[in-house]
Amino acid sequence: MRPVLFAGLSLALNALAPARAAGQMRQIALAYRARIGADRAAGKAPHSCLPEGETEITTDVLIVHLRSYAAPQRDAMSVDAAFAELIAKTYPCP
C-alpha cells in the first residue's frame, strides 16, 4: 500500500507546487486505474468509465476541483478521494 500523500485537501492545496503536483497526480491516477482494473477483474461495477490511455485532466483542473470543497470537507478528505470524485464526474459510466 502506498503512503498517503497529504492528510487533507487543505494541506495539499497549500503544499502543491506545479512540478510536484504533476508527479503526485500521476501516482494518484495510476493507483486509481489499478483500482478500476481490480474492480473489473473482481466482477464489480467500475467507479467510473475512464477511457484507455492518457486523459485530459490537468493539474490545474484538479486544483480547481480541490478548491471546490468547503474548508471543513477539505480537512477530512484525501487527495485520492477527491481525484476519484473528479474522475467519476468527468467520466461517468453510461
For 21-70, the pLDDT digits (tens) are 667 778 888 899 999 999 999 999 988 998 887 777 777 787 788 888 88
Residue-level pLDDT at 43: 95
Residue 7 per-residue DSSP state: S
pLDDT band (50, 70, 90) for residue 13: low
3-class SS shares of the chain: helix, strand, coil, % to 5? 60, 0, 40
Residue 51 to residue 20: CA distance in whole angstroms: 25
pLDDT of 1 over the 60 cut: no
Residue type, 70: A
CB-count burial class (<10 Å; 0-12, 13-18, 19+) for 29: middle
List the domain boundaries for the chain: 10-90
pTM of full prediction above 0.75: no
